Chain A
Amino acid sequence: MGSISFRNVDKVFGHGTGGVKALDDINLDIADKEFVAIVGPSGCGKTTCLRMVAGFEAASAGSVLVNGRPVTAPGPDRAVVFQQFALFPWKTVRENIELGLRNKNLPVGERNDLVASALKLMNLETHVDAFPHQLSGGMQQRVAIARAYVLDPEVLLMDEPFGALDAQTRVVMQEELVRLARHNPRTVLFITHAVEEAVYLADRVAIMTRRPGRIKEVLDIKAVRERENWDSHARIEDVMDLESFVHLRTHIWKSLREEKGFKDV
Chain B
Amino acid sequence: MASVASRRTLIGGMTVIGLVVLWFGLTTFTGLVTGARFPSPAEFWLSLKQINGRGYAGSTLASHAFHSLKLVLMGFTVAVLTGVPLGLWMGWNRRVEAFINPVFLIIRPIPPLAWIPLAILWLGLGDAAKILVIWFSAFVPSVINAFTGVRNIDKPILEAARMLGTPRLRMVREVILPASLPMIFTGLRLSLQASWTTLVAAELVGALVGVGFVLNMAQQDIYPGMILVGMVTVGILGWVTTLLLARVERRALAWNVAARD
- Counting chain A CB atoms within 10 Å of each CB, the highest count among B156, B166, B167, B256 belongs to B156
- Cross-chain contact B166 with A103 (CB below 8 angstroms): yes
State whether A56 and B178 are in contact (beta carbons under 8 Å apart), knowing that A76-B164, A104-B165 are contacts in the complex: no
Can you give 26 contacting A-B residue pairs, CB < 8 Å?
A56-B159, A73-B162, A74-B159, A74-B163, A74-B165, A76-B163, A76-B164, A80-B159, A80-B163, A82-B159, A82-B160, A86-B154, A88-B160, A89-B255, A89-B256, A89-B257, A99-B164, A100-B165, A103-B164, A103-B165, A104-B165, A131-B254, A131-B255, A133-B257, A147-B160, A147-B164
- Cross-chain contact A75 with B165 (CB below 8 angstroms): yes
Interface mask (B129-172 → A, CB under 8 Å = 1, otherwise 0) = 00000000000000000000000001011011111111100100
| Bound: A73/B166 CA distance, A | 12
Interface mask (B173-215 → A, CB under 8 Å = 1, otherwise 0) = 0110011010000000000000000000000000000000000
Which of B160, B167, B175, B178 is close to A80, meaning CB atoms less than 8 Å apart? Answer: B160
Chain B residues within 8 Å of A76, by CB:
163-165
- Counting chain B CB atoms within 10 Å of each CB, the highest count among A54, A80, A87, A147 belongs to A80
| Bound: A232/B243 CA distance, A | 62
Chain A residues within 8 Å of B179, by CB:
88, 90
**What is the size, in residues, of chain A's interface with B at 8 Å between Cβ atoms?**
28
Q: Smallest distance from the beta carbon of B228 to chain A beta carbons, Å? A: 45
The reply on A79 being an interface residue by CB < 8 A is: yes
| Bound: A151/B170 CA distance, A | 18
The reply on A67 being an interface residue by CB < 8 A is: no
Total contacts A to B, CB within 8 angstroms? 70
Q: Smallest distance from the beta carbon of A92 to chain B beta carbons, Å? A: 8
Of all chain A residues, the one with the shortest Cβ separation from B252 is A90
Chain B residues within 8 Å of A87, by CB:
160
Chain A residues within 8 Å of B254, by CB:
131
- Cross-chain contact A79 with B163 (CB below 8 angstroms): yes
Chain B residues within 8 Å of A73, by CB:
162
The reply on A204 being an interface residue by CB < 8 A is: no
The reply on A78 being an interface residue by CB < 8 A is: yes
Chain A residues within 8 Å of B159, by CB:
54, 56, 74, 80, 82, 86
**Given A88-B160, A151-B164, 13 extra CB contacts under 8 A:** A54-B163, A74-B163, A75-B165, A76-B164, A80-B163, A84-B154, A86-B154, A88-B179, A90-B181, A99-B166, A103-B167, A132-B255, A147-B160
- Cross-chain contact B156 with A84 (CB below 8 angstroms): yes
| Bound: A120/B80 CA distance, A | 43
Chain A residues within 8 Å of B165, by CB:
74-76, 100, 103-104
Interface mask (B249-261 → A, CB under 8 Å = 1, otherwise 0) = 0000011110000
Near B by CB (< 8 A), chain A positions 3-57 give 54-56
Chain A residues within 8 Å of B255, by CB:
89-91, 131-133
Chain A residues within 8 Å of B257, by CB:
89, 133
Chain B residues within 8 Å of A74, by CB:
159, 162-163, 165
| Bound: A185/B21 CA distance, A | 78
B contact residues, range: 20 to 34
Q: Smallest distance from the beta carbon of A140 to chain B beta carbons, Å? A: 12
Near A by CB (< 8 A), chain B positions 37-88 give none
Q: Smallest distance from the beta carbon of A126 to chain B beta carbons, Å? A: 19
Chain B residues within 8 Å of A75, by CB:
163, 165
Chain A residues within 8 Å of B164, by CB:
76, 99-100, 103, 147, 151
Q: Smallest distance from the beta carbon of A134 to chain B beta carbons, Å? A: 9
Interface mask (A94-133 → B, CB under 8 Å = 1, otherwise 0) = 0000011011100000000000000000000000000111
| Bound: A102/B174 CA distance, A | 12
| Bound: A90/B178 CA distance, A | 7
Q: Smallest distance from the beta carbon of A34 to chain B beta carbons, Å? A: 21
Of all chain A residues, the one with the shortest Cβ separation from B175 is A88
Chain B residues within 8 Å of A55, by CB:
163
| Bound: A165/B254 CA distance, A | 25
Near B by CB (< 8 A), chain A positions 57-93 give 73-76, 78-80, 82, 84, 86-91
Chain B residues within 8 Å of A131, by CB:
254-255
- Cross-chain contact A86 with B166 (CB below 8 angstroms): no
| Bound: A87/B12 CA distance, A | 41
State whether A82 and B156 are in contact (beta carbons under 8 Å apart), knowing that A76-B163, A100-B164, A104-B165 are contacts in the complex: yes
Chain B residues within 8 Å of A80, by CB:
159-160, 163
Of all chain B residues, the one with the shortest Cβ separation from A100 is B164
Q: Smallest distance from the beta carbon of A238 to chain B beta carbons, Å? A: 35
Q: Smallest distance from the beta carbon of A102 to chain B beta carbons, Å? A: 8
Of all chain B residues, the one with the shortest Cβ separation from A76 is B165
Chain B residues within 8 Å of A82, by CB:
156, 159-160
